[in-house]
Amino acid sequence: MSVWGLLLGLLLVGCSSSPPVVKSGSQSNDPVRNRLLLVYATWEGVPYRLGGNDQRGVDCSGFIQQVFLQVNGLALPRTTAQQVRQGQRIKRQHLQPADLVFFKTGWRQRHAGIYLGNGEFMHASTSRGVMISRLDNPYWQDVWWTGRRLTSDE
């Protein structure tokens, strides 16, 4: 395989994920989770599109950007590299609904999602589009990078 073929392949797997689909998203007593799930319902199944940020196709950072804009009018940066610098670092065991979760999915490849609570997060998967996954899935445990909590001044 040529170097260019390898680089193209790496580019195409950005924001990639292939663990099992989680069918959840049940309502709870947490108003933040419930609001996120209402927005998720409008995005569920939207296909992955590198650089996308609308209902025709979205990548992981574009999905995060659009959800936060819809939920509270917060304009986040566009890329995962920029988003991971927002807010304060949060350990996995201290995550709360609406915290951002980040993963190192490959060499120079990053993936991101929004924590929903109950061990679940929503994200845009290259293979399945917008979906909910579980943090305790071995795949996500192995590629965990960091969590970030946004502050009101961002």
The domain spans of the chain are 3-149
Cα–Cα distance measured from residue 113 to residue 52, given in angstroms and rounded to the nearest whole number: 15
Model confidence band, residue 48 (pLDDT cutoffs 50, 70, 90): very high
* Average pLDDT of the segment spanning 114-136: 98
Instruction: State the pLDDT at residue 15.
Output: 56
The residues carrying an active-site annotation are: 60, 111, 123
Query: Is the model's pLDDT at 111 over the cut of 50?
Result: yes
Residue 11 has pLDDT above 90, yes or no: no
Residue closest to 100 by CA, chosen among 147, 154, 133: 147
- Per residue, what are the HEC states of 27-76? CCCCHHHHHHHHHHHHHCCCCECCCCEECCEECHHHHHHHHHHHHHCCCC
Q: What is the mean pLDDT of the chain?
A: 87
Question: What are all long-range contacts of 102-105, with beta carbons under 8 Å and residues at least 24 apart?
Answer: 102/145, 102/146, 102/147, 102/148, 103/140, 103/143, 103/144, 103/145, 104/143, 104/145, 105/13, 105/15, 105/16, 105/17, 105/143
pLDDT for the residue 29: 86
Full-prediction pTM beyond 0.85?
no
CATH of domain 3-149: 3.90.1720.10
